[in-house]
Structure formats: C-alpha cells, structure tokens
Amino acid sequence: MSYGFMGKLLRADLTHGQVTSEPLRDDWARQFAGGAGLATRYLYDEVPPGADPLGAENRLIFMTGPLTGTPSASASRYSVVAKSPLTGIWGHANSGGTFGPALKRAGYDGIIFDGISPQPVYLQIVDGQAELHPADHLWGTTVPETEDLLRAGGPQGLTIAAIGPAGENLVRYAAIMNNKHRAAGRCGLGAVMGAKRLKAIACAGQEAVPLADQALFRQTARTQIDLLNESFLKVGFDAFGTNMVADMVNVRGGYPTRNWQMGRFEQIEEVNAQAMTDKVLVEGVNCFACPVVCGRGTEIREGKWQGHSGEGPEYESVNTLGAQCEVSDLNAITMANYLCNDYGLDTISAGSTIAFALECYERGILTPEQTGGLELRFGDADLVIDLVEKIARREGIGDLLAEGSRAMARTLGGGSEHFAMNVKGLELPAYDPRAAKICGLGYVTANRGGDHITAYVEGPTFIDVPFLLVEDSSIRDPFVAEPQEARVLVDMENALTSLDAVGGCKFMGILLSAEDLVGLIAAATGWEFGVEEFRQTGERAYNLMRAYCVREGITRDQDTLPGRLMSDPLPDGPAAGMVIDRETLEMMKDAYYEFRGWDKASGIPLPGKLRELGLDDLVDDLWAGR
C-alpha cells in the first residue's frame, strides 16, 4: 500500500473517449516525491521531441503530492505539466484552493490527458468513478458560468478546474482556473486544455489520504500550524495579502513601471496593500487547510464597475495590469483582474504583453491600421480592460496580443525584441533584476522561462525575508553580483522544487526548515526521508526539467535576459544607473553551471551529474552525437 498517495492515476484518451485507471509508478513517486517532478517524468517519456504543444501528441498532466489533501499546513497545491504553447519548452503551472485535495479524495493522485476530443468534453470523477461527458453546452462560457452549470447539474460537492474562452481560443498564455478564481496560470496550459477540447474536470469524493503514522503526522502538523499562527508571515498576509510587498519593492527601485522603463511608480499609494484594504477588500481567503489567509476576497464599490466582485488582484496582477501599463486606478486594475479570471488568462503575461504593445504603439512600431484604429496609450485604464477582452476572444488587435510578447516582437520587428520583457518566451514577473542582480540569474535559469517563484530569491533580496528551508539564503548586496550567490540560487531552486512536489505552498519555505518538512513527509509516506534526500529530490527533478528543455533546443545561449535589462540603466531611485551587463550575467552563469554540475559551454547537465541523480537514461538523449 502507498502511504501519502492514493496509488492510482487516471488516463484519459480524448481521441477515443476512453478513461482508464492504472497504478502509480511507485519507483518514480519515490524518486520525485510527486507533483511537477513526477509529472515531468511521465511527460519526458511520453511526449516525443519536437511535438506540437497544441497537437495530439502533447500530454496534459495533473499531479498532486503526498501532502496534498492532508491535515497539514498549506496542503492544497497541485501541478499541471505539459509542453508549453507559449515557450515551446517545459511548461508548468501550480495552483492552490481545494481542487488538488478534491482530486485525491476522488481517489487519484493525478490525471494524464492525451489526444484530441472530436467535440468538447468534461471529465467527471466521483468516488473513484471517472467518465467523459459532452460539454457543447459549456463551450463559450466563462469560468464562473462553467462552474455554476456543472455544480447545478452534477453530484453534490463537486470541485472544478476549468478553462474559459481564452483557453478555447488557444490564447498562448491561457490559464486553468479552479474554485473560479484560483489560477494554474503560467505557460499557457489552458490553451493545451482548449486544444484537446477539454472544458473542465469536476471532482468529488470522500476517500481519505492514507498516512503511514497518522498520530505522528497530526502531531507534527499541529506543531507547525501553531508556529505559523504566531508568525509575522500570517500577520502580514492576513492583513494585506501578497500585495503587501509592493511598497518594499518600489522603495528599492525594482517595481517595473511603464513596460520596465522605470523602477518606481509615483502613484504607488493608489495601488498598494493599504489602498486595496481601503478600496476593495471584503475578506481574506485561504486555501485548503492553510492557516494563512493571503487571498483577497474583493468587490468594486464605486464607479462604472460597481458591484463586480471576485478574488484578487495579487501583487503580480496589480503591477502588470497597473504600473506596467501606467494605470493607477485600482478599480480598473481589479476589474481587469476579474476579467482575466473569468476568461482564464495568466495576469502576468496578459498585463506584460499589453504593456509591450503600448510601447510599440508609442514608438510607431505598432500602427493604428494594425490596431483597428485603437489608440494604445499608457495610462488608459479603459483600454487595458478592453484589450483583456479582445485577447481572450482573439478579436482585432487582441489576436496578435494573444500570441505573447516574444511572438509579437518577432512579427513586428523594428527593434521591439529589445523591450519584449520575457525570458524564453515567458513574460517576467514584477521584480526588476537591475535592482537585485541575483534575480536576473534566477530568471534565466528557471526551467519554464522568466519566472520568480522557481527559486523565489526575490524574498531575501527585495523583501529581506530569509527562507529557513535552505541553510543560507542571505544576499549580501543586491546591487553586486557575487559568484558564490549562485549557490544560494541553486539551493533555493532545489528546495522549493521539492516543496512543490510534495504539495506544499512555497510561502511555507519561509518559516519551515527542511528538518520540519522531512518529519512531516516521513510520517505521511513511511519513507526514511532525511534532509539530504529532500534536497537531492529537488535537484533530480530540476535536472530532469532542464533535460526536457535541452531536448527541445535550449542551451546556454537561451539563458539570457531582454536587452533592456542588460543595457538600459534605471533612470532614478536607489538602483539608478543599474543594468545587468552581459559580462556580469555570463560570469554568474559560469558559477551557476559549476554549482549545478552542468557543462559550462552548453549549459547541459553533465553525464556524471545525471548518473549521480539516478537519471542514467537521459545521458544518451542529451550527449549522443555532441
């Protein structure tokens, strides 16, 4: 019997409309501990190199971890993995809420979708019984409408993950939404779901997660929850949510503004955490079993969007839909965020791509003829909302924006690639690495592209929050690139990849040490699981993810930043004059590859490192013929 796992996967062959159950690979579960690492092992083996991300060969894999659905702090997370239609490489999205626990309680650790359905369908799983149903009546509906219809017409207690019109219309950064407002947002995996004509997954069940030592697990979990309840993390997040960091990032000069032309937003007090509390906050919202209430239940109380309600916006959404577009109207930002959730759009890529389009228009690279007569001007709040809707429906200029900033730059030319703010096709989050150079290295080494949450070094650099999950997360001077700090990045990537795998929220890495977590994992699974194995599990998964990217053509050359960050100094603030010049970035990459055990010339994991991690079968894939 598997402990911590349900021991089963579902396979849905959408082409033939067949759903079957199979045993979870216990050996792989032990190697990768669940989540994205385990899903990537299946993806690597089953999706051939060069497969079309929107084609039948791609797999869409939902996967939970051994802590998902247990009575431990922050045991809500699930991962979705596929080849990304936005980046063309390894794609991963992660979400909380209650969907991950509901999937396990329905009897399964994960689901693998392949093929393409001839007509829209949804998958329903109730108490271990799974069946595909026609979804023609759901196609074209928003995420909340889909959830309401499925709940009204289905068994009691359904928890739902779904796509909106953005996923159906193959917007390359479409999100998968659960609990109406929670997003598995990055990499466009909602478009993969749409390409497969899969509208939703609805789960219900009462099966408990089997625990190896239930008494010890509950005691350990209770101790950790008590710790969290007394922490500054809970106090800050309960009061202000994730947007509490906005003032801290802005004062450091790293708050991207006007498509990253500046690092400070003069109107920050109009959009910061206090402004949200004063203007739109209704109540805090937490995920399954989590004592930290970081979500924001909100409502627009005045103006043209009065009466609209939902969740968010989070910190990233406030910045990308706000300062990056030079919009300071919090009601408009909140409305744009609601629309992204309703249509199923990643707010980071949506806001960043809109900001990029605004600058292209301002520079004459994007013309009125191309926009259908729309004037794309910074600071136009109504325009941002209009563009969100056009993107989701691929209407007019929205069809071009739906491709993402990298594809837009390649289409438009005119030097626009210099300020298309993405790495490997994934739009950057709201921390300017010119004000914290180690963050720039984190963007280029993240396996899914420009991403902050893979290593979350923004915590110790911008916010002065150390992570207890690693031995040392300290960054001495964010303005100075120190080669030894690449070790911090590697340690953070490995540890947070393991935390992701078991189903934990990465915020828990701030207050829980590796020692705390391995006790919980061991009590859940029955494994003899120590700190070193915890770290090596993350390292193994990270190398597998990199191997997938290498197989799709990624080398050292693609580990780079947008030209703006390497040559355009920030104009003012504490980071005035700062860039990450190419020489500095290459020096940091050398140090990183050495710590990783990767070939410095190519950025490919060396055979010795792959064998050390038990990934012997990847050696020929990556090194034959080189």
Residue pair 498/541 in contact by the 8 Å Cβ criterion: yes
Give the Cα separation of 447 and 92 in Å (integer). 9
Q: Which residue has the tokens 């955490």?
A: 273
- Spelled out in words, what is the top-level CATH class assigned to the domain 8-204? alpha beta
What was the pLDDT predicted at 358? 98
Tell me the per-residue pLDDT of 27-50, one tens digit each, with 9 for 90 and over.
Answer: 999 999 999 999 999 999 999 999
Q: For the residues 550-555, what does the mean pLDDT come to?
A: 97
Residue pair 109/372 in contact by the 8 Å Cβ criterion: no
Mean pLDDT of the chain: 95
- Counts of helices then strands in the chain (DSSP H, E): 27, 17
Tell me the one-letter amino acid at 404. Answer: G
Q: For the residues 401-424, what does the mean pLDDT come to?
A: 98
Q: For the residues 213-227, what does the mean pLDDT come to?
A: 92
CA-wise closest residue to 198 among 170, 220, 173:
170
Q: Is the pLDDT of residue 158 over 90?
A: yes
Q: Is the pLDDT of residue 470 over 70?
A: yes
What was the pLDDT predicted at 199? 99
- Spelled out in words, what is the top-level CATH class assigned to the domain 242-421? mainly alpha
Tell me the per-residue pLDDT of 367-412, one tens digit each, with 9 for 90 and over.
Answer: 999 999 999 999 999 999 999 999 999 999 999 999 999 999 999 9
What was the pLDDT predicted at 448? 97
Q: Is the pLDDT of residue 171 over 70?
A: yes
Give the Cα separation of 597 and 166 in Å (integer). 40
Does the predicted model carry a pTM greater than 0.85? Answer: yes
Q: Which one is predicted more confidently, 589 or 470?
A: 589
> 3-state class of 295 per DSSP?
strand
CA-wise closest residue to 318 among 276, 284, 369, 377:
276
DSSP codes, 4-37: SS-SEEEEEETTTTEEEEEE--HHHHHHH-SHHH
What was the pLDDT predicted at 587? 96
Task: Give strand pairing partners of 160.
Answer: 202
What was the pLDDT predicted at 94? 97
The span from the first CA to the last CA of the chain, in angstroms, equals: 43
Tell me the per-residue pLDDT of 97-144, one tens digit each, with 9 for 90 and over.
Answer: 999 999 999 999 999 999 999 999 999 999 999 999 999 999 999 999
The alpha carbon of 49 is separated from its chain's Cα centroid by a whole number of angstroms, namely: 23
Q: What percent of the chain has pLDDT over 70?
A: 100
Give the Cα separation of 505 and 75 in Å (integer). 7
Q: Is the pLDDT of residue 1 over 70?
A: no
Tell me the one-letter amino acid at 476. Answer: R
Give the Cα separation of 132 and 262 in Å (integer). 50
Domain boundary assignment for the chain: 8-204, 242-421, 433-561+581-623
What was the pLDDT predicted at 369? 96
CATH architecture of the region 433-561+581-623:
Orthogonal Bundle (1.10)
Q: Is the pLDDT of residue 87 over 90?
A: yes
Tell me the per-residue pLDDT of 473-531, one tens digit each, with 9 for 90 and over.
Answer: 787 777 787 888 899 999 999 999 999 999 998 888 888 889 989 999 999 999 999 99
Per-residue pLDDT band at 536 (split at 50, 70, 90): very high
Q: Is the pLDDT of residue 64 over 70?
A: yes
Tell me the per-residue pLDDT of 331-363, one tens digit each, with 9 for 90 and over.
Answer: 999 999 999 999 999 999 999 999 999 999 999
Tell me the per-residue pLDDT of 232-272, one tens digit each, with 9 for 90 and over.
Answer: 778 888 899 999 999 999 999 999 999 999 999 999 999 99
Q: For the residues 202-230, what does the mean pLDDT come to?
A: 93
Tell me the per-residue pLDDT of 441-467, one tens digit each, with 9 for 90 and over.
Answer: 999 999 999 998 999 999 889 988 888
